[in-house]
Structure 1
Amino acid sequence: MLRLAAASLAGTAVEFYDFFVYGTAAALVLGPLFFPTFSPLAGTLAAFGTFGAGFVARPLGSVLFGHIGDRRGRRPVLLVSLLLTGAATVAVGCLPTYGTIGTAAPVLLLVLRFLQGLGLGGEWGGAVLLATEHAPTGRRALWSSFPQVGPSLGFLLANGVMLGLSATLSDAQFASWGWRIPFWASGALAAAGLWLRRSVTESPLFLKIEDHARVPLAEVVRGHWRLVLLTAGALSVGYAVFYTVTTWSLAYATDRLGVSRTVMLVCVMATVVVQGVLTPLLALVGDRYGRRPLCLAGCAGMALWMFPMVALLSTGVPLLISLGFLEAMTAFITVFAVIAAYLPELYEPRVRCTGAAVGYNLGGVLGGALTPVVATALAEHGGRVPWGVGAYLTVLALLSLGCFALLPETRPLPVAVTEPAPG
């Protein structure tokens, strides 16, 4: 389990590094480089639009790789998805800007971002299913939380590289060539991830399935469509809060509040460190008390904290910004620490890779793809405090809370409870 957990964590860290480094670059530099004919606001919106294309691709990736995972096994998904995402990320770093090739530059940027999302859409399902289906029954949430730590590590790595470049390069150097370095680094990281995953064994539960689904997506749509919609709606606020904190806030604070890029990256990274540490601890709570109670508590926390968070952000004071982010991300990870166990347990094994991944990534479209664009537009028409952003996130939190309320608990009962009494 340790070897499998390490391989799952490393792979998700690499793939989310690729995904996050693009989001940070979109907030800081891609607008002027690829959309220079737009106004600063329109350029930022356009860059966030290409950012959103990755989320649109993720459900398609979950369908494609979910089909492979349900038909051919979970292990092939891990290898192919990592290779695809890594190649697309390196290609972004090699892409000429608008000043060199004109309108072809933003078009190619959009295509590469789409390929990134396609690979990431398959990654999550394969990684968490291998961890969940290898894990002992009473520790599924704990072992499946290791792939969930991967996004935190990927984010820290991506922003750590960006922070180092931001601190050592001038603005002109960073805009000219410095922003490309994090994308090029993905090649080495992907190679390391593939090396770690080479010895991962196939899921024992998959090997026991005798009647594999011929068209997993068709079975999911026919028999589990309500479950897919509920899980997508339930997860939407988590994505929205995460990308509000880690992506939109960078652009808002640097452009509107005059906070330095370096200070904002430090604030966000400190928050994500706490998130990574809390993930396995909260997963242990989920193994003991259930998945659904944590999800309900996390959504309630996000609903109550969104207005205070934007108020603290608008002060421009780093300590208060960090406090606002910390509370929001703690509520977020209370939900997402147990999701890697909860979603697979909701679906039968023969369509689990497709069903869990489609629900998870549709939540990304609802909450992650639109949030930076919507938040930017709402903040532009607001005052000093972007109350509209707080209202938008609060409504999403209440929607997610309602969806979780309609989902069943899945935590396995202790053996002493499920076995009949002797005699």
Structure 2
Amino acid sequence: MAHDYQPHAPAVVLAERDTKAVPGPGSESDTRNEPGKMRRVASASFVGSLVEFYDFNIYGFAAALVFGKLFFPALGPAAGTVAAFATLGVAFVARPVGSILFGHFGDRLGRKRTLVTTLLMMGISTSLVGLMPTADQIGAVAPVLLVLLRVLQGLAAGGEWAGAALFVVENAPKQKRGFWAMFASLGGGAALTLAPVTFLLTGFGMTDEHFLSYGWRIPFLASSVLIVIGLYIRLRMEESPVFKTEQAQHGASRMPFFEAFKRQPREILLAGGAMIITPSFGYLGASYLTSYGATVLGLSRTQVLTMSSIGGAMLTLGIGLAGAYSDRIGRRKVIIAAALVAVPWALILFPLISIGSTMAFAAGMCVTMFISGCSLGPMSAFMSELFHTRYRYTAAGFSYNIAQIIGGAATPLLAAWMTARFGGFIFGIFLAFLALISLVCILRIAETKEYELDRTPLSRGE
């Protein structure tokens, strides 16, 4: 049976038989708008993402504040900070592997079981970081163990966001998918608020020596409480109706990763490019600006963590506004608007915070994080709608995590090196270039908010 593949058409190609078929129990035509059910589904994704990304992000704050001194003392302050951010980046390299691994099981065995597994993996590795001996205690073995635990965090995070996002989307009514899907991202935004608050409260009344000695461990060990809560909620979830219908009607894909690249390679690459703006601005604010404020501007730990907490709240606000508004005007327009603002802001950011005042630093942090939130808000629905059910978990996760390598791993690391060697404005040019990549990619993808989730894909040449 031959069908023409249209590489520049929307990523939705409907089989004739499916457009005329009687809807099944999990189809888009099936009513999925029970308020009680959607609140439970959204809460499960929100809390799960909160726990996962709290664990993932406290590592970033610890890297900015103490890891250079504790695990790389022989390198000196500047090189130690770069090395600490390099360990931060290792997780981002592991994330695409995690997206393939957990995407495979998520598309074959189900969303629920996979999300429970990622939660457990993240929780165990995070708690072990809190128990880690330092370089003064066990020498060079300490940073090696730190990197290994960070890799486990990366694998877990690689399977988390896409699964949490599509789980909500596959349960939500079509006209409100943007609103409900944003709760998966809101969990990540809330984690960026909670992580610095935890460090702030932990270090309150504590001397720098005591914080360096044991205080930094408390946020990592405290995550075990959140893990229990998140696990309880996720174990009570029901599998998504769209996934169950796909399994019943067509069976599971044997190799979701290869099927995704066979059918929608263009969309996978463009979606990854469109996503770059989100981690490049988000992790710049959450990780590097925290370090920059403390080391370059000489702000106190309390000031820096307070501003980081407010920045996390601004990111969360951006997610909420953009996610809800995307149901009215479309995912694409919201992301384009965020990218158009991001380009000039990247050039303004470092001249602004170089003024050295607390207010200038706060403004730089808040606007940077708000831009990241506005670009992330529609992404949960956009990524889920773009790909077909058979390999949605794998494709959305891989696109998302490719962007995380470029924006989340490379950006803080290059920021530390480029600002020290060439100055902040040169790095701002690089940041503006990343925003332009996102803008070009999103301009080449069709709007997705009217797409049906339970469509049947047609591959090239079928």
Q: TM-score, normalised by structure 1?
A: 0.95
Contact 1:232/1:366, CA 8 A, preserved across alignment: no
Q: Return the alpha-carbon distance in structure 1 between the equivalents of residues 287 and 201 of structure 2.
A: 18
Which residue type is aligned with residue 192 of structure 1? I
Q: For residues 6-52 of structure 1, what are the alpha-carbon distances to aligned partners after superposition, in whole Å with 9 as ceiling and x for unaligned?
A: 11100100110001100000000001111111121111111100000
Give yes or no for the alignment of 1:235 onto 2:275: yes
Question: Cα distance, 1:158 vs. partner?
Answer: 1.3
Q: Return the alpha-carbon distance in structure 2 between the equivalents of residues 225 and 87 of structure 1.
A: 34
* Aligned partner (choices 157, 162, 171) of residue 208 of structure 2: 171
In angstroms, what is the RMSD of aligned CA positions? 1.3
Give yes or no for the alignment of 1:155 onto 2:192: yes
For 1:50-61, list aligned pairs within 5 A: 50-61=87-98
Q: Return the alpha-carbon distance in structure 1 between the equivalents of residues 324 and 420 of structure 2.
A: 42
Unaligned runs of 5+ in 1: 415-423
Unaligned runs of 5+ in 2: 1-37, 453-462
Which residue type is aligned with residue 84 of structure 1? M
Q: For residues 245-280 of structure 1, what are the alpha-carbon distances to aligned partners after superposition, in whole Å with 9 as ceiling and x for unaligned?
A: 111011112111111121111112112213223423
Question: Cα distance, 1:389 vs. partner?
Answer: 1.8
Partner of residue 139, structure 1: 176
Question: Cα distance, 1:110 vs. partner?
Answer: 0.2
Which residue type is aligned with residue 279 of structure 2? Y
Contact 2:338/2:371, CA 8 A, preserved across alignment: yes
Contact 2:289/2:365, CA 8 A, preserved across alignment: no
Q: For residues 199-223 of structure 1, what are the alpha-carbon distances to aligned partners after superposition, in whole Å with 9 as ceiling and x for unaligned?
A: 1110000001123210001112222
Q: For residues 335-389 of structure 1, what are the alpha-carbon distances to aligned partners after superposition, in whole Å with 9 as ceiling and x for unaligned?
A: 1100000011111111101000100011000111011110011111135xx1122
Give yes or no for the alignment of 1:322 onto 2:362: yes
Partner of residue 197, structure 1: 234
Change (3 A) 1:215 1:317: same
Partner of residue 377, structure 2: 337
Q: Return the alpha-carbon distance in structure 2 between the equivalents of residues 205 and 346 of structure 1.
A: 15
Partner of residue 140, structure 2: 103
Partner of residue 369, structure 1: 409
* Aligned partner (choices 26, 39, 42) of residue 2 of structure 1: 39
Q: Return the alpha-carbon distance in structure 2 between the equivalents of residues 252 and 187 of structure 1.
A: 30
* Aligned partner (choices 378, 401, 423) of residue 418 of structure 2: 378
Partner of residue 417, structure 1: none
Which residue type is aligned with residue 142 of structure 1? F
Q: Return the alpha-carbon distance in structure 1 between the equivalents of residues 129 and 451 of structure 2.
A: 48
Contact 2:193/2:308, CA 8 A, preserved across alignment: no
Segment of structure 1 superposing worse, 292-301 or 149-158:
149-158
Give the secondary structure class of the aligned counterpart of 2:266: helix
Q: For residues 298-348 of structure 1, what are the alpha-carbon distances to aligned partners after superposition, in whole Å with 9 as ceiling and x for unaligned?
A: 111110111222122111211122222222222222211000000111111
Q: Return the alpha-carbon distance in structure 1 between the equivalents of residues 320 and 135 of structure 2.
A: 44
Give the secondary structure class of the aligned counterpart of 1:38: helix
Contact 1:148/1:279, CA 8 A, preserved across alignment: yes
Give yes or no for the alignment of 1:312 onto 2:352: yes
Q: For residues 131-176 of structure 1, what are the alpha-carbon distances to aligned partners after superposition, in whole Å with 9 as ceiling and x for unaligned?
A: 0000000000100000111112112221111111233211110111
Partner of residue 73, structure 2: 36
* Aligned partner (choices 52, 56, 59) of residue 15 of structure 1: 52
Select the structure that is richer in helix.
Answer: 1
Partner of residue 75, structure 1: 112
Q: Return the alpha-carbon distance in structure 1 between the equivalents of residues 72 and 361 of structure 2.
A: 30
Contact 1:233/1:366, CA 8 A, preserved across alignment: no
What is the aligned length? 412
Partner of residue 410, structure 1: 448
Give the secondary structure class of the aligned counterpart of 1:392: helix
* Aligned partner (choices 298, 317, 332) of residue 258 of structure 1: 298
Contact 2:129/2:149, CA 8 A, preserved across alignment: yes
Give yes or no for the alignment of 1:346 onto 2:386: yes
Q: Return the alpha-carbon distance in structure 2 between the equivalents of residues 237 and 335 of structure 1.
A: 7
Give the secondary structure class of the aligned counterpart of 1:95: coil
Partner of residue 9, structure 2: none
Give yes or no for the alignment of 1:245 onto 2:245: no
Partner of residue 328, structure 2: 288
Q: TM-score, normalised by structure 2?
A: 0.87
Q: Return the alpha-carbon distance in structure 2 between the equivalents of residues 123 and 284 of structure 1.
A: 22
Give the secondary structure class of the aligned counterpart of 2:75: coil
Q: Return the alpha-carbon distance in structure 2 between the equivalents of residues 63 and 382 of structure 1.
A: 37
Partner of residue 244, structure 2: 207
Contact 2:317/2:370, CA 8 A, preserved across alignment: no
Q: Return the alpha-carbon distance in structure 2 between the equivalents of residues 105 and 116 of structure 1.
A: 17
Question: Cα distance, 1:413 vs. partner?
Answer: 7.7
* Aligned partner (choices 388, 394, 397) of residue 432 of structure 2: 394
Question: Cα distance, 1:104 vs. partner?
Answer: 0.8
Give the secondary structure class of the aligned counterpart of 1:295: helix
Question: Cα distance, 1:181 vs. partner?
Answer: 0.6
Segment of structure 1 superposing worse, 19-28 or 208-217:
208-217
Contact 2:317/2:373, CA 8 A, preserved across alignment: no
Q: Return the alpha-carbon distance in structure 2 between the equivalents of residues 175 and 413 of structure 1.
A: 51
Contact 1:299/1:332, CA 8 A, preserved across alignment: no
Contact 1:138/1:287, CA 8 A, preserved across alignment: yes
